[in-house]
Amino acid sequence: MLEKEGANLPFPPELAHGQVHYNRGLKADDNTSIIPDLSFVFVANNDSPDPICPVICQITFNTGFEAAQKEVQSLAKANPSIIMAIIVAIHEVPASYHSTSSFNNTFTPEPLTTGGHTWYSIKTVSYHIWLKDFDGQLNVDADAGDHYASYISPGNEGCEKVEALFVLGLTEVKKSIVSFCKAIICEMDSPPDLTPLISHKTALPISMKSFDGDILRGIKLTGYYRYDSWFTKEFHKGKCHHVEEEQTMRRPRRV
């Protein structure tokens, strides 16, 4: 989505270039560096003005969501060009099997642990999107509304709001790129035409619900049956079946 509606926008290539980066460090508000999983950076070909980074994205597991929020907030404070921030959070639960109690014949969920390792399986994936508010601030503590939306997949609620906010965010990203290009051409004698960029209609290439099928397959692949299949194929196949001794011993020949 960011490739199509960001780096591949119809801007004059002689002015600047945009690129989606993976694991590229950005300055934080405490003079350190934080590496977002994904960032969209737009750079002028003549190195003036300074590059802009309209979008950042972090991918985390449920235990690291608050830490990802703090990183996003720190990056937003240190990089005013950030307009939209996204966190994709993968929620896991311990994979379990049902053990039978010999006392009352009941079934109790028990965590799957092998060699000290507890197996986990994916439960859901949640998408969180923040935009700058009317004061020009990106606040990760904002309530759901005009500047924050979330959606849990697989599911049916919240997808439309996230998609609408995503489209709004991409529209604001396009506006920032237009302003960036105008800053480059302000002193040019023969500036290129920005009409194709300005008139470009932002839209999502695909629906976010289209990812539900992939997530459902991921849930199945990390579920109990995946462990059970591994155990059967990789462990049991190496075991020797018991054979009765008299079948393996050579019988004496009769004289």
Quick one: pLDDT band at residue 242, thresholds 50, 70, 90? very low
Q: Is residue 222's pLDDT more than 90?
A: no
Maximum distance among all alpha carbons in the chain?
115
Q: Is residue 69 part of a domain?
A: yes
Would residue 244 count as lying in a domain? no
DSSP state of 12: -
pLDDT at 69 over 90: yes
| Lowest model confidence (mean pLDDT) among 40-44, 58-62, 95-99, 125-129 | 95-99
What does pTM read for this prediction? 0.78
Distance from C-alpha of 167 to C-alpha of 73, rounded to nearest angstrom: 21
pLDDT for position 223: 67
In a domain, 135, yes or no: yes
- Give a yes or no: residue 254 inside a domain: no
Handedness of CA 248, 249, 250, 251 (dihedral sign): negative
Does residue 129 sit within a domain?
yes
**163 or 237, which is more confident?**
163
Q: CA-CA distances (angstroms) from residue 32 to 35, 45, 59, 216?
A: 10, 27, 20, 38
- Give the list of residues 6+ apart from residue 237 with CB closer than 8 angstroms, or none: none
Higher pLDDT, 7 or 42: 42
Q: In the numeric block, which tokens belong to residue 90?
A: 């993968």
Task: Identify the band that residue 129 occupies on the pLDDT scale cut at 50, 70 and 90.
Answer: very high
The pLDDT of residue 234 = 62
Domain count, the chain: 1
* Full residue range of the structural domain in which residue 154 is found: 2-236
* Letter string b/e over residues 227-247, b meaning 16 or more CB atoms within 10 A of that residue's CB: beeeeeeeeeeeeeeeeeeee
Tens digits of residue pLDDT in 169-185: 999 999 999 999 999 99
Residue 93: predicted pLDDT? 79
Choice between 220 and 184, residue whose per-residue pLDDT is larger: 184
The answer to whether position 252 is within a domain reads no
Single-letter amino acid code for the residue at 254: R
Q: Is there a domain that residue 212 lies in?
A: yes
What is the Cα–Cα distance from 169 to 215, expressed in whole angstroms?
24
